[in-house]
């Protein structure tokens, strides 16, 4: 990429695969802003109205691919972040009765989240979301695959691909500090709990002024 050109970066994923850690690492980039689910409460055009040179990780973007294509198309850089299928499924299955997995099971598949094997539905969500992302990326020029199991090496490639500036060693340290199959879940579970608490306490205020 031309480092002088303003470029948005979107990290597309299923969730439970290191997206929060990805942004923690990106916070050491000085020529891009970075955020995790920063516009998840907005509607319409504002849902994807990100500032130029911003890196956004949000597993819900996988459900806005048509709109994402219309607004950014081939003028953005896309990262397809994945985690090993069974590990990702096991992590998601712990959230069978909340969040995306519950919405997918109850709302899209019209099945009960209390009468079925959570792992079965987690893997179905994993496959469906990743296939949607792969199809979306078929005609995109600026893209890369990023696997959690190879995070440090892939982040170096990502850094070079987007022309990042800043403290690469500190960014790589985020992956070294948090990544193994158990620690990444603990780290993201804590962050998810804090995000839910913030949303609960801010909800009356955010009715008219959603949080950035």
For each of the chain's 212 residues, which pLDDT tens digit applies?
A: 655 678 999 999 999 999 999 999 999 999 999 999 999 999 999 999 999 999 999 999 999 999 999 999 999 999 999 999 999 999 999 988 889 999 999 999 999 878 789 999 999 999 999 999 999 999 999 999 999 999 999 999 999 999 999 999 999 999 987 554 445 566 556 666 666 676 667 554 444 334 43
The three-point CA angle 189-78-161 to 5° equals 105
3 within domain boundaries: no
The pairing of strands 8-12 and 76-82 is parallel
72 within domain boundaries: yes
Q: Which of 1, 2, 5 is nearest to 53 (CA)?
A: 5
Q: Which of 80, 13, 58, 55 is nearest to 166 (CA)?
A: 55
2 within domain boundaries: no
1 within domain boundaries: no
193 within domain boundaries: yes
State the DSSP code for 211.
-
Give φ, ψ of 77 to 5 degrees. Answer: -105, 130
- Total domains in the fold of the chain: 1
Q: Which domain holds residue 155?
A: 8-206
CB–CB of 60/209 below 8 Å?
no
How far apart, in Å, are the Cα atoms of 128 and each of 140, 170, 189?
Answer: 19, 34, 23
pLDDT at 106: 93
Q: What H or E segment, with its residue span, contains residue 186?
A: helix 183-206
Task: Identify the CATH number of the domain in which residue 162 sits.
Answer: 3.40.50.300
Q: What H or E segment, with its residue span, contains residue 8?
A: strand 8-12
212 within domain boundaries: no
Whether the CA torsion 40, 109, 11, 71 is positive or negative: it is: negative
Whether the CA torsion 24, 103, 180, 77 is positive or negative: it is: negative
128 within domain boundaries: yes
CB–CB of 54/33 below 8 Å?
yes
Beta strands across the sheet bearing 76-82: 33-36, 54-57, 8-12, 76-82, 143-147
């Amino acid at each position: 990429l031309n480092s002088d050109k303003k470029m948005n970066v979107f990290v597309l994923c299923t969730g439970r695969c290191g997206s929060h850690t990805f942004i923690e690492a990106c916070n050491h980039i000085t020529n891009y802003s970075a955020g995790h689910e920063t516009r998840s409460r907005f509607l319409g055009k504002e849902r994807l109205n990100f500032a130029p040179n911003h890196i956004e990780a949000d597993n819900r973007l996988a459900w806005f691919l048509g709109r994402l294509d219309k607004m950014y198309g081939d003028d953005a850089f896309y990262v397809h972040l994945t985690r090993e299928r069974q590990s990702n499924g096991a992590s998601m299955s712990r959230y069978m009765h909340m969040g995306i997995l519950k919405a997918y099971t109850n709302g899209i598949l019209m099945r009960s989240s209390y009468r079925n094997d959570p792992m079965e539905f987690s893997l179905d969500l994993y496959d469906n979301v990743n296939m949607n992302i792969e199809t979306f990326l078929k005609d995109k020029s600026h893209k890369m695959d990023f696997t959690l199991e190879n995070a440090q090496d892939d982040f170096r490639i990502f850094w070079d691909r987007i022309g990042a500036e800043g403290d690469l060693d500190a960014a790589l340290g985020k992956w070294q500090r948090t990544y193994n199959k158990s620690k990444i879940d603990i780290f993201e579970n804590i962050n998810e709990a804090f995000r839910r608490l913030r949303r609960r306490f801010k909800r009356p205020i955010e009715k008219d002024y959603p949080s950035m």
